[in-house]
Structure 1
Amino acid sequence: MSERADFARYVTAYLGLHLPGQRNLSTNTIASYRDAFRLLISYLGERGKRPERLSMDDLGRDTVEGFMAWLTARGCSDSTANQRLCAIKAFVNYVKAEDPARLLQHQQVLAIRQRKKAPAPMVLPGRGGVAAILARPDASTARGRRDMVLLTMLYDSGARVSELCGITLRDVRLDDPATVTLMGKGRRVRVVPLMSATAGLLRRYIDETCSRPDASDLDGPLFPNSRGDRLTRAGVADIVARHARGARESGASVPDGISPHSLRHQRAVDLLESGVNLVYIRDLLGHRSVITTEIYATVSVARRRKLLEEAATAPKTRDYPDWSEDRDLMSWLKSLC
């Protein structure tokens, strides 16, 4: 490979050494970065550039902006396109230290702004909706009991779906106080307390599925699929959507669009409305900054306003006196003109 065709060398070092070794990023994050480069190489390939001959000279501002437009033409949302842009900019920032000769080109790429997008509405099932969803699994079947414990854990821990999928038996502590250890974004570990009712469900579930675990079992998934492997994010989303749909069809007030993240959002709002400090909620959810958590304060205020408006009885027109029937007042008003 010539020195000019240096793109592959930088990408290999970035994905294979820098991200897992120096940044200590999770497998899912590295896979997301990898997908961004696969798409970028496909885009450049359609323009006659062979992967093995790509140079960092090919990764200028015009190329990246053209790649963003190509993603949009393929039907990617602004959010997805921004994720791809973040991956490329992080890579360019890494190369910048290794390749100062192209510093101006790299700065031009880093100056590309993300696309503005309207924030997605936060879909909340409400406390009644959560109760209806948790009541849907059939506790008479092994699959139903798994779903019941999974949904309860998802709400009680406020876990992201990827964090829930990664829970092993080793991560669960059932002795008082009961806790679960979650591996969050950037491999940040946090310990989340569990309610006693959730701990009781977990204890019975583990006794049923793995009554005498050996050392190897402790590293197995807490919620396996039918093949004994970890549930995927899509699998958990299907479980949540299925039981939310069942609750809605049974007459419960459960909105459309309920996802695993909806239960995480609802947990945060419920804690806030119960008077829990935002700093504690930040730690529970694994946010780096309380600024991220403050969005739930806005949601909670809007939710309280809606509930008050629904509970208040608006006065009807006939409750007010009809001033048009007061002839003296009407005469006085007419005299003003």
Structure 2
Amino acid sequence: MNKENVELTKRLRDFFQIYLPKQKCYSENTVTSYKYAFNLFFDFLNSRKGIGMTKITMDCFSGESVSEFMEWLSRERNNSASTCNQRLMALRSFAKYNGTKDFSQFSLYAEMKSIPAKKGRPKTVEFLSESALEILLKQPNAKKISEMRNQFFMILMYDTAARCQEMLDIRIKDICFNEKTPYLYLTGKGSKTRSNKSKESTPKSSLKEDSSVISTPSKFNCS
């Protein structure tokens, strides 16, 4: 390892351990996604350019190398335009951070900034008909506590348009029933919180409780 390589590894450590999680307050999932982007970039440098980990320096982050990396993702790994752009964003973020630490290297960020984002074909948004949705939401057997839980999860997810991870992060304190229109707080990407009101279109009939199950709390099992 040469001096430039050692300096780069220290800068990367600070970027992932301090800058992203503590200064930018990025979520653990976002940081993990950024790390994966760098792992792919280093794999590209090794397999396509013969540059191993101990030889990587900031010069490897040139606009030309990153552009080739984008093409490699698209052609060799068949990544979508959206995925390629996410990888580019991760590298840009580091180049910008590095430029604030060493102004002489800020030009690398300018080079990356000039790389155009890939454009993909717009996907046709498919959706379920109202009758199909009703059938789907009635699939769990609400007489069983675990399946009642699953049904409620599905309905609430539909009702609030929440992401799966946002649903899993919901806590009792995030749910407000003491209003004319119930609502809940969802924490999404970037740890941003928003409130979502319950929609009138929610198929409330699917939320009817089965007294024979509710009356036996000991049967409650979330496994």
What TM bracket, shorter-length normalisation? 0.7 to 0.9
Which residue type is aligned with residue 88 of structure 1?
L
Distance in 2 between residues matched to 1:151 and 1:51, nearest whole Å: 45
Secondary structure, in 3 states, of the residue corresponding to 2:195? strand
Which residue type is aligned with residue 32 of structure 2?
A
Distance in 1 between residues matched to 2:82 and 2:93, nearest whole Å: 17
Q: Choose which of 157, 164, 183 in structure 2 pairs with 1:179.
A: 183
Task: Answer whether contact 2:98 2:106 (CA < 8 A) is retained.
Answer: no
Distance in 1 between residues matched to 2:208 and 2:197, nearest whole Å: 13
Per the alignment, residue 110 of structure 2 pairs with 107
Distance in 1 between residues matched to 2:28 and 2:208, nearest whole Å: 27
Once the two structures are superposed, residues 285-323 of structure 1 have per-residue CA deviations (whole angstroms, 9 ceiling, x without a partner) of xxxxxxxxxxxxxxxxxxxxxxxxxxxxxxxxxxxxxxx
Secondary structure, in 3 states, of the residue corresponding to 2:4? coil
Which residue type is aligned with residue 71 of structure 1?
L
Distance in 1 between residues matched to 2:3 and 2:208, nearest whole Å: 57
What is the deviation of 1:116? 1.0
State the Cα RMSD in Å: 2.7
State TM-score, norm by structure 1.
Answer: 0.56
How many correspondences in the alignment? 210
Per the alignment, residue 4 of structure 1 pairs with 4
Per the alignment, residue 154 of structure 1 pairs with 157
Task: Answer whether contact 2:95 2:108 (CA < 8 A) is retained.
Answer: no
Q: Are 1:92 and 2:95 matched, yes or no?
A: yes
Which residue type is aligned with residue 172 of structure 1?
I
Distance in 2 between residues matched to 1:79 and 1:136, nearest whole Å: 33
Per the alignment, residue 142 of structure 1 pairs with 145
Task: Answer whether contact 1:25 1:186 (CA < 8 A) is retained.
Answer: yes
Pick closer, same or farther for the CA change 1:41–1:225 going to 2, 3 Å: farther
Q: Are 1:188 and 2:188 matched, yes or no?
A: no
What is the deviation of 1:56? 0.7
What is the deviation of 1:59? 0.8
Q: Are 1:28 and 2:29 matched, yes or no?
A: yes
What is the deviation of 1:175? 3.1
Per the alignment, residue 285 of structure 1 pairs with none
Q: Are 1:66 and 2:68 matched, yes or no?
A: yes
Which residue type is aligned with residue 4 of structure 1?
E
Pick closer, same or farther for the CA change 1:169–1:202 going to 2, 3 Å: farther
Pick closer, same or farther for the CA change 1:61–1:202 going to 2, 3 Å: farther
What is the deviation of 1:201? 4.1
Distance in 2 between residues matched to 1:139 and 1:203, nearest whole Å: 8
What is the deviation of 1:202? 9.7
Task: Answer whether contact 2:96 2:106 (CA < 8 A) is retained.
Answer: no
Pick closer, same or farther for the CA change 1:169–1:203 going to 2, 3 Å: farther
Distance in 2 between residues matched to 1:67 and 1:30, nearest whole Å: 20
Per the alignment, residue 331 of structure 1 pairs with none
Pick closer, same or farther for the CA change 1:82–1:202 going to 2, 3 Å: farther
Task: Answer whether contact 1:180 1:193 (CA < 8 A) is retained.
Answer: yes
Per the alignment, residue 126 of structure 1 pairs with 129
Larger radius of gyration: 1
What is the deviation of 1:203? 8.8
Q: Are 1:163 and 2:166 matched, yes or no?
A: yes
Distance in 2 between residues matched to 1:43 and 1:143, nearest whole Å: 46
Identity percentage of aligned residues? 26
Q: Are 1:38 and 2:29 matched, yes or no?
A: no
Secondary structure, in 3 states, of the residue corresponding to 2:139? coil
What is the deviation of 1:18? 0.8
Pick closer, same or farther for the CA change 1:156–1:179 going to 2, 3 Å: same
Per the alignment, residue 241 of structure 1 pairs with none
Pick closer, same or farther for the CA change 1:203–1:140 going to 2, 3 Å: closer
> Could you list the runs of 5+ residues in structure 1 that have no partner in the other structure?
213-223, 227-337
Distance in 2 between residues matched to 1:225 and 1:50, nearest whole Å: 47
Distance in 2 between residues matched to 1:41 and 1:122, nearest whole Å: 35
What is the deviation of 1:2? 4.6
Per the alignment, residue 80 of structure 1 pairs with 83
Distance in 2 between residues matched to 1:186 and 1:96, nearest whole Å: 23
Secondary structure, in 3 states, of the residue corresponding to 1:117? coil
What is the deviation of 1:7? 2.4
Once the two structures are superposed, residues 120-174 of structure 1 have per-residue CA deviations (whole angstroms, 9 ceiling, x without a partner) of 1111113333222212222122332122101110111121222112212332233
